[in-house]
Amino acid sequence: MNYEWHDLIGNLGVVLIIGTYLLLQLERMRSTSLSYSILNGAGALLILVSLTQAFNLSSFIIEICWLAISGIGIAGALRRRAAACAAG
């Protein structure tokens, strides 16, 4: 097996997603935080980049969903942040 650039990019994405989940479970990060959604989205995006070179439909589908859900989380966190700034 040859370890190529896209493998490294995909593995970095996996580390981001798993590391973020670990921080959540250790209560070092909140699931509603902006950083949680950004790190998850970045991880999914990096895995998607790796899939451009070694495509797998099942992985592609789950990473598209992971990225979309992260986008929803980012939008919610930004909305909460704007509301908190407006309130005080």
Instruction: With cut-offs at 50, 70 and 90, classify the pLDDT of residue 88.
Output: confident
Q: How far apart are the first and last CA of the chain?
A: 57
How many whole angstroms separate alpha carbon 37 and alpha carbon 34? 5
1 pLDDT band (50/70/90 cuts)?
confident
What does the pLDDT look like over 5-15, one tens digit per residue?
Answer: 999 999 999 99
* Residue 73 binned pLDDT confidence (cut-offs 50, 70, 90): very high
Can you give the pTM of this predicted structure?
A: 0.93
